[in-house]
């Protein structure tokens, strides 16, 4: 597995990381813990050094899983986690990025992750009630105390990124980016390049849709959050098959899978991007990691760019409730 450096931070990660959320949260009931530990450790054995989690995934279950799975390999891997929510009776209950809360969350995350330092600590969602300068200052204090190494933001807009970076250099922005969600290209990516900030695309496989395994007849578990996403309504899934057909055509020519084409496309965009596809299955992990060996020529990339530019993807990527937490 090749390495990439996130911006000008010096933080070197495997070019493909592993998003661990779906092992405990979001895509149905939590999966078997021992099986998931096996998948995470298999990723380490295959060269993955960059693992993504968050306190809200569970809540708390995913950090515990990642901490246990990676404890034997801690000196060889990088763990990213996130703060930014508050909880009531074990349920997510809004945003909270008050500095004192950030520091409490960091201590709890350190315990769950079985480590003495968090490699990359993201603000999960921008909290409009707390100035971003105060948030950056709190993380700066944690870095000075040796409890955090790098500061990140997630789903933050240009103005927020600039204001945070002026207080504590931002190592990475994590936001959604894929062949069917290219909004960051307009304003976000140019600012990241200007400031030397790395980019960590989540959902590079379109929450599973770009693998070609989901169509309008697919049914999701009752606890799968895609049931609430307009882009995953049956009508939208049917309308958006044109995106999958486009990727599938390229995959046939390249003797690859649609998932590998979707990941190879992201990898080809910028050398300071490190996508974090998630999976709960060993064979899918191996399929995803093999995307690093798929080469897309400039002609291939131009073909995909032109074709996707002409497609109007149906449906919003978040429910109305979740959309209000996106900083733009």
Q: 144: part of which helix (H) or strand (E)?
A: helix 132-144
Q: 87: part of which helix (H) or strand (E)?
A: strand 85-88
Residue 8 DSSP class: T
Are the C-beta atoms of 80 and 48 separated by less than 8 Å?
Answer: no
315: β partners = none
**Sheet with 78-83, side-by-side order of all strands:** 18-19, 50-52, 78-83, 118-123, 148-154, 170-176, 198-202
Helix, strand, coil share (%) of the chain residues, nearest 5: 45, 15, 35
Q: 182: part of which helix (H) or strand (E)?
A: none
- Whole-angstrom CA distances from 85 to 38, 99, 188, 228, 245 are 29, 12, 24, 20, 38
Catalytic residue check, 57: yes
Looking at 57, 122, 209, 318, which residue is catalytic?
A: 57
| Crossing angle (nearest 10°) for helices 188-195 and 158-167 | 20
Q: Cα–Cα–Cα angle for 206, 277, 57, nearest 5°?
A: 95
> Which residues are designated catalytic?
57
């Amino acid at each position: 597995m090749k390495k990439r450096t996130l911006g000008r931070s010096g933080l070197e990660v495997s070019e493909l990381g592993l998003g661990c959320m779906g092992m405990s949260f979001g895509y149905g009931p939590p999966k078997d813990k021992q099986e998931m530990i096996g998948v995470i450790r298999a990723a380490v054995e295959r060269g993955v050094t960059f693992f993504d989690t968050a306190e809200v995934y569970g809540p708390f279950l995913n950090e515990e899983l990642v901490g246990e799975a990676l404890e034997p390999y801690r000196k060889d891997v990088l763990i990213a986690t996130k703060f930014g929510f508050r909880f009531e009776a074990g349920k997510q209950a809004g945003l909270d990025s008050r500095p004192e809360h950030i520091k409490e969350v960091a201590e709890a995350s350190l315990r769950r992750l079985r480590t003495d330092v968090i490699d990359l600590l993201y603000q999960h969602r921008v909290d409009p009630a707390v100035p971003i300068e105060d948030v950056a200052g709190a993380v700066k204090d944690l870095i000075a105390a040796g409890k955090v190494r790098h500061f990140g933001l997630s789903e933050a807009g240009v103005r927020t990124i600039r204001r945070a970076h002026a207080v504590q250099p931002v190592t990475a922005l994590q936001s959604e980016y894929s062949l069917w969600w290219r909004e960051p290209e307009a304003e976000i990516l140019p600012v990241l390049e200007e400031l030397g900030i790395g980019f960590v695309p989540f959902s590079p496989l379109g929450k599973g849709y770009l693998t070609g395994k989901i169509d309008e007849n697919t049914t999701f578990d009752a606890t799968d959050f895609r049931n609430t996403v307009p882009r995953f309504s049956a009508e939208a899934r049917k309308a958006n098959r044109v995106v999958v057909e486009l990727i599938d055509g390229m995959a046939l020519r390249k003797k690859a899978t649609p998932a590998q084409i979707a990941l190879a496309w992201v990898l080809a965009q910028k050398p300071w991007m490190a996508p974090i596809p998630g999976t709960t299955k060993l064979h899918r992990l191996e399929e995803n990691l093999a995307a690093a060996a798929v080469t897309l020529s400039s002609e291939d990339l131009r073909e995909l760019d032109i074709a996707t530019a002409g497609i109007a993807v149906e449906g919003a990527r978040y429910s109305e409730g979740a959309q209000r937490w996106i900083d733009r």
